[in-house]
């Protein structure tokens, strides 16, 4: 599936090919911190399909508890996270689903690091809903 993405301010735009069956949610504490939310939703895009169409990304190198390093890229203007990948010679990019125009068509198929999940994020059904602010 071809997807188009952009940051919040529009300075960064990109496109890629993704497999909708590879969308996943990560509940690890690093993802909670890096998103400022309860989890991160991402989808893998092969490196050869990712094209940065506009703008320049800023990168932060995160070191996991295992010692593995990952490059997290974001818009230098508005801070919108765009993707993460291996620091050297990335084979794929982990695109942030919330930035993709096709996000409604990309529901998560798998959850990981569930031992770190916030219990209140598991079911939102009982929380009152408001259609707009």
Would you say the pTM of this structure is higher than 0.75?
yes
Half-sphere exposure of residue 98: CA atoms within 13 angstroms, side-chain side: 12
Q: Work out the average pLDDT over 10-33.
A: 94
Question: What are the pLDDT digits (tens) for 92-101?
Answer: 999 999 999 9
Burial 21-51, CB ≥16 within 10 A → b, else e: eebbbbbbebbbebeeebbbbbbbbeeeebe
Summarised one tens digit per residue, pLDDT across range 41-79 is 999 999 999 999 999 999 999 998 788 899 999 999 999
Q: What pLDDT score does 110 carry?
A: 95
Domain residue spans of the chain = 2-117
Measured CA to CA, the distance from residue 79 to residue 55 in angstroms comes to: 13
CA–CA gap between residue 88 and residue 124 (Å, rounded)? 39
Angle (CA) 28-31-37 rounded to 5° is 105
The per-residue pLDDT for range 76-132, each reduced to its tens digit, is 999 999 999 999 899 999 999 999 999 999 999 999 998 988 888 888 788 888 888
Domain 2-117 falls in which CATH fold?
A: 2.170.150
């Amino acid at each position: 599936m071809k997807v188009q993405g952009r940051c919040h301010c529009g300075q960064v735009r990109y496109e890629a090919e993704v497999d909708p069956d590879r969308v996943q949610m990560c509940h690890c504490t690093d993802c909670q911190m890096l998103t400022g939310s309860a989890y991160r939703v991402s989808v893998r895009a092969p490196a050869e399909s990712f094209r940065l169409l506009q703008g320049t990304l800023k990168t932060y190198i995160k070191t996991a508890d295992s010692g593995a390093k990952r490059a997290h890229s974001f818009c230098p203007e508005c801070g919108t996270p765009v993707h993460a990948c291996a620091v050297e010679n990335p084979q794929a990019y982990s695109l942030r689903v919330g930035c993709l125009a096709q996000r409604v068509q990309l529901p998560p198929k798998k959850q990981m690091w569930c031992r770190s999940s916030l219990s209140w994020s598991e079911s939102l059904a009982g929380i009152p809903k408001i259609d707009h602010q």
